[in-house]
Structure 1
Amino acid sequence: MSTTDFLRDLIRIHSLSGQEGPLAGRVLQEWGALGFDEAYTDEAGNALGVVRGQEPGPGWLLVTHLDHVHEGDASLWEFPPFEAVLDGDTVHGRGAVDIKGPLAAQTYALGRLLARGVRPRRDVWVAAFTDEEIGGTGADFFVKNAPAEFGGVIVGEPSGSGLMLGHRGVATVRVKFKGRAHHASLALQDENPVFAAAEFIQRVRAHEFPEHPITGSTTLTVTQMFTDSGSENLTPNTVEVVLSWRFNEEDDVNRRTLAELLEGLPAEAELTPLWSRSNTPGFQTPPTDPLTGLVERYAGRLKAGSGVWKFATDGRYTAAAGWPTVGWGPGDEGLAHTTRERVSVRELEAYADTLAELLEREVPPER
């Protein structure tokens, strides 16, 4: 079995959020065959593997996840989404880059060491979490029931094999505008909640957020709109607007911003408490952090410089637990969740080789 063969096996197994069991079983099988010291699932369904190191002390945690998003209309794909087609240097399919390619590469980074009879300097845990795509309940369970002490976390989400220093928080906000349904011929604009919703959307569009030195500016984007009207000549009683909020600010600041955007409008809105599925913060690791410098020495061989993700990751949970966290994974993040999802075999292999070298030579920085 090779990194590519393992990845193709993983892609062929459907693993939507909440349906990760069969994939977890295949992952544990591979870890056992490669000689991992432990390979098991916890109460949340997370797949966890351990390779014991040569030295005592806080170890490494390599993070990916088991679930993927829906494939959508399969006819829009160049290659069938679950056939794991290998076309030249490229493996195609749902999950190829988010995140079964990185999972396969992390697995075979350790597999390379074990095949040579080499142990990493410190214990290495590989964690493939459940439910990452719908809020991160698997990661949440893991950090609350930590099985070991971790001195450094590498989140393997696709980053073009470059170093990532974090991402913004993410919240889903639902705003309901209230009016009174009436015959469209009356044109009672004050009673039509569509106009209030339109005013709100214009305010969102005009609102300016401050720039964050690491993760950039907050964004607030309208994603969906619904009404309770089922007729073309009937105005609605209600209009619901759904927003995706990618934020840097503290929770109380976000609540004040939402109140300002809604001021004077006939509406009610909910911003759920932090660490609920629809409101989780991001994380930022400074460029001056010792973990940043250590991982950059290796990631920089594959891609110079550092960046931040636009999307959220389970790194929000590990960082909040106080475990130093950076991102580093193979694959083009822009292909995640698209019908063009694919990953380069050469990039997977280069990442696995480089990660293996880091784990063989390095220990997490002391704090």
Structure 2
Amino acid sequence: MSAAEFLRDLIRLQALPGQEAALRERVLQEWRTLGFEDVQADSGGNALARVPGREAGPAWLLLTHLDHVHEGDPALWEHPPYEAVLQDGVIHGRGAVDIKGPLAAQTYALARLLEQGERPRSDVWIVAAAEEETGGSGAAYLVAHPPGEIGAVIVAEPSSNQLMLGHRGVARVRVQLQGRAHHASLALKDENPIFALAELLKRIEALTFPDFPVTGASTLTVTQLFTDSGSENLTPNAVTAILDWRFNEDDAYNKLVLEKLLEGLPARGELSALWTPEYTPGFVTEPNDPLARKVLPYAARFHAEPGVWRFATDGRYTANAGWPTVGWGPGNEGLAHTTKEAVAVADLEAYSAALAELLGQESPS
């Protein structure tokens, strides 16, 4: 089997967060067939396995995840989301780039070494974590229960095979603006929370954040709105706004920003505790970091310079655990979570070849 064939098998298995069992078993089966060792599912729902290296010392960790987002309305897809259509060298379907393509590519990087009768220079743990899409419970379990001494991590989220040096943190905040329901004909603006919402939106629009090295500036935007009004001629008692916050700053700064946004408004909202699914920091690996310098020559075959992800990954957990972490994976990140999700077979194969070469020649420390 090849990375492309394995990916097509994976796409045919739906694996929404918390519903990854069938996919996990298929992944474990493939790893056993390929001759990986210590193949197992841990108590956090993760799939993991080890390929022993030639030298003693800390191990590489290759990290993806099992779950993917819902496919939405299948009628909006050119190709059915779970049929894994292969057309003109491109595989289509939910999870093609996020995350089954990178999972297949990392798997077959290791398979490539074993098929050539070789071993990686250092031990390699490969992990497909559970529930990444809903906050990373699998990765949280992994760093609390590491399978061995980890020297460096390569997170294979889609990056078009570009080295990635991190991403911003992510917080989701529920803000409730309170008013008093009344007949629309009264037009009591001071009691209609939608007018308070309008002021909040203006404040968010005017908000600016300082630019940060590597990751750029933070962003804050509104993604969803809900009211409790059940009639077109009745104003609501309350409006709830969901804020999506991609941040670089620390917790104290973020709380101050939120406080100023809500100041004087009939509103309440707060950040949850850090390292809960609603509020996790990002991570940054500096360009001159030893791990970045080690991986870049292999990734530079595709992109000369490193970048950063716009979205969050499980790398936030591994970096916070003190494990040097970079990102590097096949697939266009702009196609993730869309109805056009697809990945070129050539990109999978090129990534697998470059990663196999790195693992065969480099130690993580």
TM-score (norm 1): 0.99
Q: Which residue of 1 aligns with 2:204?
A: 204
2:276 matches 1:276: yes
- Distance apart, 1:3 and its partner CA: 0.9
Q: Which residue of 2 aligns with 1:326?
A: 326
Per-residue deviation, residues 238-276 of structure 1 (Å, max 9, x unmatched): 010111000000011000000001110001102101001
Q: Which residue of 2 aligns with 1:50?
A: 50
Q: Aligned equivalents of 2:181 and 2:3: distance in 1?
A: 59
The number of aligned residues is 365
Q: Which residue of 2 aligns with 1:301?
A: 301
Q: How does 1:173-192 map to 2 (within 5 A)?
A: 173-192=173-192
- For the residue of structure 1 that corresponds to 2:349, the secondary structure is helix
- For the residue of structure 1 that corresponds to 2:308, the secondary structure is strand
Residue 177 of structure 1 aligns to which amino acid in structure 2?
A: L
Q: Aligned equivalents of 2:205 and 2:135: distance in 1?
A: 26
- Distance apart, 1:151 and its partner CA: 1.0
Q: Aligned equivalents of 1:288 and 1:354: distance in 2?
A: 21
Q: Aligned equivalents of 1:205 and 1:189: distance in 2?
A: 21
Q: Aligned equivalents of 1:302 and 1:106: distance in 2?
A: 17
Q: Which residue of 1 aligns with 2:311?
A: 311
Q: Which residue of 1 aligns with 2:291?
A: 291
- For the residue of structure 2 that corresponds to 1:246, the secondary structure is strand
2:220 matches 1:254: no
- For the residue of structure 2 that corresponds to 1:231, the secondary structure is coil
Per-residue deviation, residues 50-108 of structure 1 (Å, max 9, x unmatched): 00001111110000000000000000101000000000110000000001000000000
Q: Aligned equivalents of 2:355 and 2:309: distance in 1?
A: 20
Structure 1: 5+ residue runs without aligned partners?
A: none
Q: Aligned equivalents of 2:116 and 2:177: distance in 1?
A: 64
2:8 matches 1:8: yes
- Distance apart, 1:364 and its partner CA: 1.1
List, as ranges, runs of 4+ consecutive aligned residues in structure 1 with deviation greater than 6 Å.
none
Q: Aligned Cα RMSD in Å?
A: 0.6
Q: Which residue of 1 aligns with 2:222?
A: 222
Per-residue deviation, residues 30-62 of structure 1 (Å, max 9, x unmatched): 111111022110001100010000111111000
Q: Aligned equivalents of 2:39 and 2:87: distance in 1?
A: 32
2:231 matches 1:231: yes
Q: Aligned equivalents of 2:180 and 2:35: distance in 1?
A: 67
- For the residue of structure 2 that corresponds to 1:217, the secondary structure is coil
Q: Which residue of 2 aligns with 1:109?
A: 109
2:148 matches 1:171: no
- For the residue of structure 1 that corresponds to 2:164, the secondary structure is strand
Q: Which residue of 2 aligns with 1:95?
A: 95
Residue 220 of structure 2 aligns to which amino acid in structure 1?
A: L
Q: How does 1:111-130 map to 2 (within 5 A)?
A: 111-130=111-130
Q: Aligned equivalents of 1:23 and 1:235: distance in 2?
A: 47
Residue 316 of structure 2 aligns to which amino acid in structure 1?
A: R
Residue 334 of structure 1 aligns to which amino acid in structure 2?
A: G
Structure 2: 5+ residue runs without aligned partners?
A: none
Residue 219 of structure 1 aligns to which amino acid in structure 2?
A: T
Per-residue deviation, residues 293-349 of structure 1 (Å, max 9, x unmatched): 010010001222110000000000000000000000000000000000000000100
Residue 122 of structure 2 aligns to which amino acid in structure 1?
A: R
Q: Aligned equivalents of 2:192 and 2:17: distance in 1?
A: 38
Judge conservation of contact 2:258–2:270 (CA < 8 Å) in 1.
no
Q: How does 1:347-362 map to 2 (within 5 A)?
A: 347-362=347-362
Residue 78 of structure 2 aligns to which amino acid in structure 1?
A: E
- For the residue of structure 2 that corresponds to 1:164, the secondary structure is coil
Q: Aligned equivalents of 1:273 and 1:256: distance in 2?
A: 15
> Percent same amino acid at aligned positions?
64
Per-residue deviation, residues 208-264 of structure 1 (Å, max 9, x unmatched): 000111101100010011111011111110010111000000011000000001110
Q: Aligned equivalents of 1:353 and 1:178: distance in 2?
A: 57
